[in-house]
Structure 1
């Protein structure tokens, strides 16, 4: 089975991906700033190689990518994302990698340069796709993660029995489980490269309003949870102060507006199971609320 190299291994999605790959017996290499953090997350495994480095450490990556056929990319630096992703992909392809799997965003399908998040991911995809003599390039385009509830909703539910947002109570937003993102990435990284080729996988499992989410939360947590609409200014302030988002990201979330996204009907084909629902994800994480 092909060796897999993972960039972004210690975040929520990368963490689940690495554990899934190791459970399947895949030889996996991760590039991390802090090897002790990786040891705490993954323990010891004969199939895991930990390389210390970061986005700017070309030397460590160039040496350690040799012998890997697959590269997984998850980069959180929105400002420098296109350059970072292009650099990693270019080095990997030149070293013999045959496939790059990139966590992009559903926002790429939004109007051109609608906000910073969409622009960063669009330019990243374009930069990798246009590399000369590249191998396979698969882009996963998830919409909002269920784990975005940890940006502040988990606290307001605990102390105010409410979730807050600037969207109208019945306005819908597209959602996907981070577990599904990690598992789809693992499937693409372990199945035949030619099967997935240059596929783009849109990832929306549920389209829910604030009221919908409040009802699901109430059912799972066994208490009455309300959705309360606040101003755009209040929502922006919450993202900046609680989630510590930079201006461009916080503004992008608030300005996204009502969703035109539809549920991705074919996800079960590549996941090999039905996508996880918000209710199921909350059941597994309800101790945090």
Structure 2
């Protein structure tokens, strides 16, 4: 049986993917900086994508790799892709919808994978529903203050991203494909806040924040000014040109993508 290596295995998507593959009886190995603390139900080995020299043991006997890049730049990615190509035959890269833009680090990641000699599939999700957990403290106070409340997003449940990744890793016919993954419909950011409030049984209102104020706060939290600038531009663009909605999840999995309301209900405890 071919072995699958899952990087980013302790994150929102990776943990779901490890569980789904493990439940399917597949031969899965998880990569973690601290295997002892990872608490994963599969073989877990020590390794760090930011230190490519640590990857050799994790890649032994591996045929397929799920690659989730951990940084806001592609620095060092060439060494990681080279290491993967020495051992594996294919890679499924968790990319992003903006990967076609040359300034995106995902653009460079995809370029490296395309030229690696590996079989490849790119998963390009829209916004992650789980990123709205950034609002958790504000939700508890009953008011979310954030910019661009009218930005319409097609946020996707991390469980759906993992399910598509599991399908692609375990079935044929996906080499050379770039799949755009979204939720089944759009909600504005203000509507997302309302839905979260309904899921936790508490009224939560939206308060529009000036982008300049948000820029300062997010830069302090993320420490990546270029990424903050890109995020603000993207959110602003979704006010006049709502985020795309695709049926890729339905086509690949044979069921509709999970709604944002389902995601909010699944994560109600995280906001309470």
Q: TM-score, normalised by structure 1?
A: 0.85
Q: Does 1:27 align with 2:24?
A: no
* 5+ long unaligned stretches in structure 2: none
Q: Quick one: which of 129, 133, 154 aligns to 2:114?
A: 129
* 5+ long unaligned stretches in structure 1: 114-118
Alignment of 1:89-238 (within 5 A): 89-95=81-87, 97-109=88-100, 111-113=101-103, 119-131=104-116, 134-151=117-134, 153-159=135-141, 161-167=142-148, 169-192=149-172, 195-205=173-183, 206-238=185-217
The answer on whether the counterparts of 1:6 and 1:72 sit within 8 Å (CA) in structure 2 is yes
Distance 1:143 1:245 in 2: 22
The answer on whether the counterparts of 1:180 and 1:271 sit within 8 Å (CA) in structure 2 is no
Deviates more, 1:70-79 or 1:49-58: 49-58
Distance 1:63 1:288 in 2: 36
Distance 2:114 2:43 in 1: 28
Alignment of 1:10-89 (within 5 A): 10-38=10-38, 40=39, 42-43=40-41, 48-79=42-73, 81=74, 83-84=76-77, 86-89=78-81
What secondary structure does 2:155 align onto? strand
Distance 2:58 2:269 in 1: 39
Structure 1 residue 32: Cα displacement: 1.6
The answer on whether the counterparts of 2:50 and 2:76 sit within 8 Å (CA) in structure 1 is no
Q: TM-score, normalised by structure 2?
A: 0.90
Distance 1:107 1:245 in 2: 21
Structure 1 residue 217: Cα displacement: 2.2
What secondary structure does 2:109 align onto? helix
* 2:263 match: 281
Distance 1:23 1:232 in 2: 44
What secondary structure does 1:275 align onto? coil
Distance 2:196 2:35 in 1: 36
Distance 1:36 1:226 in 2: 41
What secondary structure does 1:55 align onto? coil
What secondary structure does 1:228 align onto? strand
The answer on whether the counterparts of 2:5 and 2:64 sit within 8 Å (CA) in structure 1 is yes
Q: CA RMSD in A?
A: 1.9
